[in-house]
Amino acid sequence: MSNTELEALISSKLPSFRKGDIVNGTILDIRPQVVLVDIGYKSEGVIPISEFEDEEIEVGDQIEVLLESLENDEGHVVLSKEKAAHKQNWDKIVAVFKEGGLVKGKVKSVVKGGLMVNVGVEAFLPGSQVDIIPPKDLNEYVGNVYEFKIVKVNDERKNIVLSRREVIEAERSELRQRFLETVKVGDRVHGIVKNLTDFGAFVDLSGMDGLLHITDMSWGRVNHPSELLHIGQELEVLILEVDRDKERVSLGLKQLTDNPWADIEKKYAIGSRVKGRVTKLLAYGAFVELEKGVEGLVHVSELSWTKRITRPSDVLSLDQEVEAIVLNISVEEQKISLGIRQLEENPWDAIEARFPIGTVISGAVRNLTPYGAFVALEEGIDGMIHVSDMSWTRKINHPSEVLKKGDVVEARVLNIDKENQRVSLGIKQLEDDPWETIDSRFKVGDLVSGQVAKIASFGAFVSLDGDIDGLIHISQLSEEHVERVKDVIKVGDEIKARVIKVDKIERRIGLSVKAVNYDAEQLRRETVAFETVRAGDMVGLEQAFNLASLQSEEWSPTENDSSKKD
């Protein structure tokens, strides 16, 4: 028999092999670079030793391999154990995907956008599909084995996309249904704080999320859930409400303890003295914890009888232990009003006994305002001198014309308003009213001398003897027409003038420079003319005095009038 005939006979006896087939083989030899395998073909097959790095193998072991090539350059059959496994696993993955089943896999590494998972073949797990809550650190999943749902298979590219999130959601859905079927209002259940918001906390009740509203966390005031809870905290809560249609559960924490407000009026009677700890300082007051779940508010106005406290933090600090008096209780609104100043006697209750009306006091000017000066009577209590009570004779536009901060002055107590906590004082009341006897000092026709104290658009004010001011109207400055007062007269000028009007009721004296040399008849006619001038011409004495504080052009309260310095 020829060699050709012999080879044909042998070939006819060998099984049929095709590239890509998976066949069984027996390990014949283990060499440094390759492993020789007998698959029943005319020549041995070779597999790179690297495919066995994670396995312990021995000669004679049976393995499944994929036929990559029937003959290489050296005459060997090229085999692959890994590709055989991959092909088998791939077929299984595709079958599971079509059936909608789950597959187990081990997380191998972190890659861009997610994780690589070995499920028999390499698969990609996107970061968004790792868990219900996006993980902060993907590395904590590496090395762990989980169940996954196959969401995408690309046969051409051999790509597989997994989801662990869908598995968890399916499990939670089943648990949620089971929970809703069995739970009822009033049950006590355990859960784990899953998330915190401004309005409450979501608690995981073994697959069911329940809402613990901020108002159901404590009988006391809670500004934010983070004051009491933290994510991951285990809690026992009470079922308050179950809505099976909307799959919602409302939870309560404070309901597990007795309501401290139930008998609050007995524990904290109005008028009683209590102790507590300052828990919060706000612009309008301070909150004081009397017991767990019970707080009272000390309004800023209830901190002191006399001190002007603008912010509670000026006199109180957080966690400070304080005493207070219970002022009011609202059980429905769960509010308690407290007062600290009520611990001491109200100094305004006996103010009239200490400062009787009519008595003369002495005190330092504490502050000046446009309408008057505040004088310290005692610690925390001031009296006010209105500008109208500073002088009988002068028109004072601002208290700084006669007083300055820090001056020690004497004044008479004029009035006391305990309800509004006000004491009215007067300086001018220390002396007799000079206008009571003005008729005996100034008469129409008298020739007087004085110094110009103030100039206005309508005339000039002249300081006369006895700290009395007289007005020279612009029409009385000269026989000639005067356009501007300061063209003919200025502050500080010493002048002579005649009295042409004395009004005791209105406390006004009218003067005339042009009438200085008039005889009796001329003076009479000028007086009559002055009285009958139309008010619309702005020459009337009354209008002039009324405009004095509005149209002042030159005003020197201290330089030219020694009486105005004190």
- pLDDT at position 533, please? 52
- pLDDT at position 281, please? 92
Alpha-carbon distance of 205 to 178, in angstroms, equals: 11
pLDDT band at residue 556 using 50, 70 and 90 as cut-offs: very low
Task: Choose between 71 and 278: higher pLDDT.
Answer: 278
Alpha-carbon distance of 394 to 341, in angstroms, equals: 42
Alpha-carbon distance of 189 to 234, in angstroms, equals: 11
Q: DSSP 3-state helix, strand, coil percentages of the chain (rounded to 5)?
A: 25, 40, 40
User: Is the pLDDT reported for residue 9 higher than 60?
Assistant: no
Average pLDDT, the chain: 82
The CATH code belonging to domain 443-558 is 2.40.50.140
Alpha-carbon distance of 386 to 97, in angstroms, equals: 94
- pLDDT at position 344, please? 84
Alpha-carbon distance of 108 to 161, in angstroms, equals: 15
User: Is the pLDDT reported for residue 536 higher than 70?
Assistant: no
Q: Which of 51-65, 336-350, 374-388, 390-404 has the lowest mean pLDDT?
A: 51-65
- pLDDT at position 5, please? 52
Task: Give the number of other Cβ atoms within 10 Å of residue 298's Cβ.
Answer: 25
User: Is the pLDDT reported for residue 338 higher than 90?
Assistant: yes
User: Is the pLDDT reported for residue 8 higher than 60?
Assistant: no
Alpha-carbon distance of 334 to 218, in angstroms, equals: 12
Extents of the domains making up the chain? 18-99, 100-168, 183-256, 264-343, 351-430, 443-558
Residue with tokens 């002495």: 362
- pLDDT at position 539, please? 37
**pLDDT, average across residues 356-362:** 91
User: Is the pLDDT reported for residue 527 higher than 70?
Assistant: yes
**Domain 183-256, second-level architecture:** Beta Barrel (2.40)
CA angle at 276 for the pair 270 and 281, rounded to the nearest 5°: 105
Largest interatomic CA distance in the chain: 179
Q: What is the three-class DSSP state of 441?
A: helix
- Structure confidence by residue, pLDDT tens digits, 235-257: 999 999 988 888 888 999 988 88
Distances (CA, A) of 269 to 275, 291, 328, 336, 543: 13, 15, 9, 10, 63
- pLDDT at position 563, please? 35
pLDDT band at residue 179 using 50, 70 and 90 as cut-offs: confident
**pLDDT, average across residues 55-74:** 77
Give one word for 290, left, alpha or beta, with left for phi > 0 and alpha for psi -120 to 50. Answer: alpha
User: Is the pLDDT reported for residue 515 higher than 60?
Assistant: yes
Q: Which of 63-77, 186-200, 457-471, 496-510 has the largest mean confidence?
A: 186-200
Alpha-carbon distance of 100 to 97, in angstroms, equals: 5
Class assignment of domain 100-168? mainly beta
- pLDDT at position 535, please? 36
- pLDDT at position 532, please? 60
The string of DSSP codes covering 140-204 is: GGTT-EEEEEEEEEETTTTEEEEESHHHHHHHHHHHHHHHHHH--TT-EEEEEEEEE-SSEEEEE
Alpha-carbon distance of 518 to 127, in angstroms, equals: 110
CB-based contact 220:293 (threshold 8 Å): yes
- pLDDT at position 84, please? 74
Q: What is the three-class DSSP state of 362?
A: strand
- pLDDT at position 15, please? 58
User: Is the pLDDT reported for residue 57 higher than 60?
Assistant: yes
Task: Choose between 22 and 35: higher pLDDT.
Answer: 35
Helices (H), 416-505: 438-441
* 150 bridge partner residues: 162
Backbone angles phi, psi at 422, to 5 degrees: -135, 140
- Identify the H or E element spanning 508: strand 508-512
User: Is the pLDDT reported for residue 553 higher than 80?
Assistant: no
User: Is the pLDDT reported for residue 141 higher than 80?
Assistant: yes
Instruction: Return the structure tokens found at 183.
Output: 């739970």
Can you identify the CATH homologous superfamily of domain 264-343? Nucleic acid-binding proteins (2.40.50.140)
User: Is the pLDDT reported for residue 24 higher than 90?
Assistant: no
Quote the radius of gyration of the chain (alpha carbons, Å): 52
Separation of CA 271 from chain center: 34
Q: Minimal CA–CA distance to 203: which of 227, 173, 178, 225?
A: 225
248 burial via Cβ count (<10 Å: 0-12, 13-18, 19+): middle
Give one word for 538, left, alpha or beta, with left for phi > 0 and alpha for psi -120 to 50. Answer: left
Task: Choose between 437 and 254: higher pLDDT.
Answer: 254
**pLDDT, average across residues 452-477:** 86
User: Is the pLDDT reported for residue 2 higher than 90?
Assistant: no
Residue with tokens 């006994």: 353
User: Is the pLDDT reported for residue 395 higher than 80?
Assistant: no
Q: What is the three-class DSSP state of 482?
A: coil
Q: What is the three-class DSSP state of 223?
A: coil
State whether the Cα torsion 313-318-320-321 is positive or negative: positive
State whether the Cα torsion 377-383-384-390 is positive or negative: negative
**pLDDT, average across residues 127-137:** 85
pLDDT band at residue 399 using 50, 70 and 90 as cut-offs: very high
Q: Minimal CA–CA distance to 66: which of 19, 120, 14, 15?
A: 19
Separation of CA 388 from chain center: 45
User: Is the pLDDT reported for residue 86 higher than 80?
Assistant: no
- pLDDT at position 557, please? 34
Instruction: Return the structure tokens found at 166.
Output: 């869908």
CB-based contact 269:194 (threshold 8 Å): no
User: Is the pLDDT reported for residue 560 higher than 50?
Assistant: no
pLDDT band at residue 549 using 50, 70 and 90 as cut-offs: very low
User: Is the pLDDT reported for residue 298 higher than 90?
Assistant: yes
Percent over 70 (pLDDT), the chain = 90
CB-based contact 117:105 (threshold 8 Å): yes
The string of DSSP codes covering 46-77 is: EEEGGGGTT----TT-EEEEEEEES--TTSPE
**Domain 18-99, second-level architecture:** Beta Barrel (2.40)
Alpha-carbon distance of 332 to 334, in angstroms, equals: 5
Task: Tell me the whole-structure pTM to 2 decimals.
Answer: 0.45
pLDDT band at residue 522 using 50, 70 and 90 as cut-offs: confident
E strand residue ranges, 205-293: 209-213, 234-243, 248-252, 273-281, 285-291
Alpha-carbon distance of 202 to 193, in angstroms, equals: 6
- pLDDT at position 10, please? 47
Judge if 100-168 and 264-343 fold alike in CATH terms: yes
**pLDDT, average across residues 93-109:** 84
Topology, domain 351-430: OB fold (Dihydrolipoamide Acetyltransferase, E2P) (2.40.50)
Distances (CA, A) of 245 to 81, 150, 249: 55, 31, 11
What lies within 8 Å, CB to CB, of 514 at 6+ separation is 476, 477, 478, 479, 526
Percent over 90 (pLDDT), the chain = 23
Number of H helices and E strands in the chain, helices first, is 8, 31
- Identify the H or E element spanning 6: helix 3-13
* 454 bridge partner residues: 461, 555
- pLDDT at position 82, please? 67
CB-based contact 463:469 (threshold 8 Å): yes
* 84 bridge partner residues: none
